[in-house]
Amino acid sequence: MNFFRHTLILSLCICMLNAYAQNDSLKQLNVVEIKATRSLYFSSASKFQVIDSATLERYSNNNLADLLSRESMVFIKSYGLGSLASSSFRGAGSSHTAVLWNGFNLQSSMHGMIDLSLIPANFLNTVQLQFGSASALWGSGAVGGAIHLNNSNTFNKGVSIYSNNSFGSFLDKQQQLSFELSKKRIVSTLKLFNHDAKNDFEFTNRAQYGKPIQRQRNAELKQYGLLQENYIQINQFQLLNTRFWYQYSDRGMPPSMTQNMNVAVQKDESSRFTSEWQLNKNKYSVNVRAAYFDEKLYYEDSLSALFSKSHSQSAIVELETKFSITKYDIINIGVNNTNNTAYTESYNNRYNQNRSSVFASYRLHTLNLKWNALLNIRQEFINNKALPFTSSFGIDGNVLKHFFLKLNVAQHYRIPTFNDLYWVPGGNPNLLPESGWSEDATISYKQALKNVQVELEAAAFNREIKNWVIWQPDVSGIWSPQNVQEVWSRGLEYKLRVDYRTSKWDVQLSGLYNYVLSTNQKSLSTNDVTLYKQLIYVPIQNAQGNFLIQFKGTSVSYNHIYVGYRYTSSDNKNYIKPYSFGNIRVSHDFVFTGAKIKVYTQLNNVFNEQYEIIEYRAMPLLNYQLGLAIYFNEKNK
């Protein structure tokens, strides 16, 4: 009922905003664009990958985990179809990735990560991946990299309606619906989605005698949610926005291949509200933003009589201003205060944590913007206690006519989570923050010919993390977190992209390759067998390729993924074999006056590959999705 109550309230808000927008006596003003100041101006020395709106449209009926696993260098650790999925940047852990929604960090204060399978791709306009440490910009958790999830607007576009319905294997059914009202000074959007799936695919159980063919059980999925956004242009220089994101998920926890059965169920419910006021003038800009997140998790396992409820809340307020002293520089100064509260039956109490930070950035550039030097600093406090001071320094520029260089050196840190500190039994309130340094260099070649664009890129990185928190048993057999591990990650990344475009044809070819070593550099005990060994579930090699061809409304794309060996034991004696599989998508657009209809089909794992991302967690063989999308736009008169 909460979902429908929120929908009703937001529908009333849209009606009120529509009434305001009908005041056509107001003259049309210049558009004020909302931009993430720090990611735009002070991250240029970091390696970035931008997933644009056209790519997001192809994955509109997928979640963020599916998108990143097929379109990026980020390794996605998935427990199965519809199950928990987390990210690993350059050999770092899942809690070492900052996931920022329009500048607000979504990482859980309880366990330090976010389930990427719970983020629908159709709720996003752009996705940007920032590789390398960025704690000086974004605070705790941005150790391996950052995922920027952004929403945007277009004024004076008219009334738009979008509908997308799909049906697929294993009784997978999805419905998406969005409305947008875009006037001269106001934009209001409402996006809704619903997703049901039984996920009862067949697989070969290699863990049981005879390797029998079994059907996945207790993997049902039910999700629904809404995203409501408003953008109001107050005047020529000011813009105000509000966003509300509600989502509910109810899913079974399927058994592993070594289990006979599992009846556990997990329910996730989240409510996220943000607002931002922005002032943009020629010489300076001011951003004031605030957010409130409410996250609930219910876990039920009747077989083990385990019923757990977790509840966390975050209130965030941030102010930053950008200005220039000379025509050669840009300065950004800001403050942030984040208050986190969390409770679960496994804590002795409801705990509160207040984090405040002061940050500043300086960018020195040439007049033609071909070269930039960047300095970022940050000082954070938790309950009035200072954390390690962090900084980063980088340069980027045009070396030769078609060659570009990026160099970056950065400090990073991650504070212990509430579970690390307060879990009973085992929590350790004396844990230190993880910290360290990273260095990376990227060189790229870009050239645009008559109809062809070519991009080549190579990157090398090096990172150390000290005081890595690891849970291990103490003398009494109780598992407890300790600052005992030091991890050294280093590697190489390569990218190739070729685009050929004419008035009728669009052909795209791209390839990505990663080589990552991420090893423990500190003995945890006498005769430690984990010393200098690769971390578990960090593939040394992974690669992917994408091919897309479009002609007269018809689009055909092929995606191929390769993931190398992953060790499943810290001594590297046990491992999972590499896997490789391909996906095909075919679509056709029918264009009418003011409307477009798209029919599409997607074939996943076309070669029927049996593979595991996590040991003994089954993944589906060949499966399909069929869909119909309708887009209608009536422009303003």
Residues 366-400 pLDDT 10s: 988 899 999 999 999 999 899 989 999 999 999 98
pLDDT at 183: 95
Cβ atoms 137, 42 nearer than 8 A:
yes
Q: Please determine, for residue 1, whether its predicted confidence score (pLDDT) is greater than 60.
A: no
Structure tokens that stand for 435 in this block? 């910290």
Structure tokens that stand for 38 in this block? 């720090």
pLDDT at 637: 81
212-250 confidence digits (pLDDT tens):
999 999 999 999 999 999 999 999 999 999 999 999 999
Q: How many helices (H) and strands (E) does the chain have?
A: 6, 34
Count the Cβ atoms, other than its own, within 10 Å of residue 275: 15
pLDDT at 234: 95
Q: Please determine, for residue 19, whether its predicted confidence score (pLDDT) is greater than 50.
A: no
Report the amino acid identity of residue 68.
L
Secondary structure in 3-state letters for 365-433: ECCCCCEEEEEEEEEEEECCEECCCEEEEEEEEECCCCEEEEEEEEEEEECCCHHHHHCCCCCCCCCCC
Q: Please determine, for residue 318, whether its predicted confidence score (pLDDT) is greater than 90.
A: yes
Mean pLDDT of 281-305: 94
Q: Please determine, for residue 408, whether its predicted confidence score (pLDDT) is greater than 60.
A: yes
Cβ atoms 163, 179 nearer than 8 A:
no
Q: Please determine, for residue 8, whether its predicted confidence score (pLDDT) is greater than 50.
A: no
Count the Cβ atoms, other than its own, within 10 Å of residue 261: 9
Radius of gyration of the chain (CA): 25
Cβ atoms 144, 96 nearer than 8 A:
yes
CA–CA distance, 83 with 619 (Å, rounded to integer): 11
Q: Which among 611, 539, 544, 628 is positioned nearest to 583, based on CA atoms?
A: 544
CA–CA distance, 602 with 198 (Å, rounded to integer): 18
402 DSSP β-pair partners: none
Which carries the bigger pLDDT value, residue 475 or residue 330? 330
pLDDT at 593: 83
CA–CA distance, 107 with 86 (Å, rounded to integer): 11
Count the Cβ atoms, other than its own, within 10 Å of residue 39: 21
DSSP 182-212: E-SSEEEEEEEEEEEE----EEE-TTSTT--
CA–CA distance, 111 with 146 (Å, rounded to integer): 17
CA–CA distance, 573 with 469 (Å, rounded to integer): 23
Cβ atoms 149, 227 nearer than 8 A:
no
pLDDT at 36: 52
pLDDT at 23: 41
Tracing tokens 């006498």 back to the chain, one arrives at 526
3-state helix, strand, coil in the chain (%, to 5): 10, 55, 35
CA–CA distance, 259 with 367 (Å, rounded to integer): 64
Task: Please name the residues in contact with 318: beta carbons below 8 A apart, sequence gap of 6 or more.
Answer: 103, 287, 288, 289, 290, 334, 335, 336, 337
For the chain, the average pLDDT equals 92
Q: Please determine, for residue 135, whether its predicted confidence score (pLDDT) is greater than 50.
A: yes
Q: Which helix (H) or strand (E) holds 12?
A: helix 2-21
Mean pLDDT of 527-531: 89
473-482 confidence digits (pLDDT tens):
877 889 999 9
Q: Which helix (H) or strand (E) holds 56?
A: helix 53-58
- Work out the pLDDT band at 131, boundaries 50, 70, 90: very high
Total count of residues recorded for the chain: 637
Cβ atoms 277, 288 nearer than 8 A:
yes
CATH of domain 29-634: 2.40.170.20
Task: Please name the residues in contact with 98: beta carbons below 8 A apart, sequence gap of 6 or more.
Answer: 105, 107, 134, 138, 139, 141, 142, 145, 146, 147
Mean pLDDT of 85-110: 95
Cβ atoms 265, 251 nearer than 8 A:
yes
pLDDT at 9: 38
Task: Please name the residues in contact with 48: beta carbons below 8 A apart, sequence gap of 6 or more.
Answer: 128, 129, 130, 131
Q: Which among 423, 454, 276, 455 is positioned nearest to 346, based on CA atoms?
A: 423
Which carries the bigger pLDDT value, residue 309 or residue 3? 309
Lowest mean pLDDT of 42-46, 146-150, 592-596, 607-611, name the range: 592-596
pLDDT at 283: 87
CA–CA distance, 62 with 122 (Å, rounded to integer): 8
Alpha-helical runs (H) found in 154-221: none
What is the percentage of the chain residues whose pLDDT exceeds 70? 94
Q: Which among 310, 226, 297 is positioned nearest to 84, based on CA atoms?
A: 297
Q: Which among 99, 103, 53 is positioned nearest to 241, based on CA atoms?
A: 103
Task: Please name the residues in contact with 629: beta carbons below 8 A apart, sequence gap of 6 or more.
Answer: 60, 162, 163, 164, 165, 597, 598, 599, 600
Q: Please determine, for residue 35, whether its predicted confidence score (pLDDT) is greater than 60.
A: no
Q: Please determine, for residue 13, whether its predicted confidence score (pLDDT) is greater than 50.
A: no
CA–CA distance, 499 with 208 (Å, rounded to integer): 48
Count the Cβ atoms, other than its own, within 10 Å of residue 159: 16
Q: Please determine, for residue 22, whether its predicted confidence score (pLDDT) is greater than 70.
A: no
430-470 confidence digits (pLDDT tens):
999 999 999 999 999 999 988 999 999 999 999 999 999 99
- Work out the pLDDT band at 524, boundaries 50, 70, 90: confident
CA–CA distance, 95 with 415 (Å, rounded to integer): 10
pLDDT at 477: 83
Report the amino acid identity of residue 146.
A
CA–CA distance, 542 with 516 (Å, rounded to integer): 9
CA–CA distance, 233 with 240 (Å, rounded to integer): 6
CA–CA distance, 630 with 597 (Å, rounded to integer): 5
Domain residue limits, the chain: 29-634
391-404 confidence digits (pLDDT tens):
999 999 999 899 99
pLDDT at 435: 95
Whole-prediction pTM: 0.93
Q: Which helix (H) or strand (E) holds 464?
A: strand 452-473
